[in-house]
Amino acid sequence: MRVLFVCLGNICRSPLAEAAFRHETTLAGLEVDVDSAGTGGWHVGNPPDARAQAMALAKGIDISDLRARQVSTADFDAFSHIFAMDHQNMRDLRAIAPSGGRAELQLLLDLVPGREGEAVADPYYGGEEGFAQTWEDVSAAARVLARRLA
């Protein structure tokens, strides 16, 4: 299983999803390839947003070494599962998805019972509390996914 988390910039939500899922798989002793990417290219090469780094660090996870990259058509073959943070990410991913790619594409919160169809809200233009909400959302999904794999 190879899992890719995708948001718009790859500096806020998807790096936190990557960190939360890696944390859960480590706790569960699972071997899974995990990565994240953005549909947009504005932040390529940049570390996660300082507020996202602070959020992860508050949970004991250092994400300062992550670097943003843009999702590519090759990702649809390289990964078995691609999770989008919101509906626009889903539309953008569907628009570039090659026919016959192996990756299964799904909205991240579809994993969480009772939150199917919901988006992980974009915290970029808001305050710190938005990042706490992002962490809660991506952690809930990460726990479900890790439990499913275990």
Compare residues 7 and 108 and give the one whose CB is closer to ligand 4NP: 7
Query: Does the active-site annotation cover 7?
Result: yes
The one catalytic residue among 49, 86, 92, 122: 122
Closest approach, Cβ 99 to ligand 4NP, in A, equals 26
Which member of 10, 25, 36, 139 binds ligand 4NP (CB under 6 A)? 10
146 contacts 24 by C-beta, under 8 angstroms: yes
- Picking from 112, 77, 100, 94, the residue whose alpha carbon sits closest to that of residue 4 is 77
| Alpha carbons 128 and 116: distance in angstroms, whole number | 25
Q: Long-range contact list for 60-63, CB < 8 A, 24+ apart? A: 61/19, 61/23, 63/15, 63/16, 63/18, 63/19
Compare residues 126 and 147 and give the one whose CB is closer to ligand 4NP: 126
CA distances from 17 to 100, 134, 140 (A): 26, 9, 10
Query: Does the active-site annotation cover 122?
Result: yes
Which member of 24, 35, 75, 122 binds ligand 4NP (CB under 6 A)? 122
The one catalytic residue among 12, 13, 75, 137: 13
Query: Does the active-site annotation cover 13?
Result: yes
Beta strands in 8-133 (DSSP E): 33-38, 81-84, 104-107
Q: Which part of the chain contacts ligand 4NP (CB under 6 A), choosing from 5-13, 24-32, 71-79, 93-101?
A: 5-13
| Alpha carbons 94 and 88: distance in angstroms, whole number | 10
Which member of 11, 17, 119, 140 binds ligand 4NP (CB under 6 A)? 11
139 binds ligand 4NP (CB under 6 A): no
Question: Looking at the annotation, which residues are catalytic?
Answer: 7, 13, 122
**Contacting residues toward ligand 4NP, per CB under 6 A:** 7-13, 38, 42, 122, 124
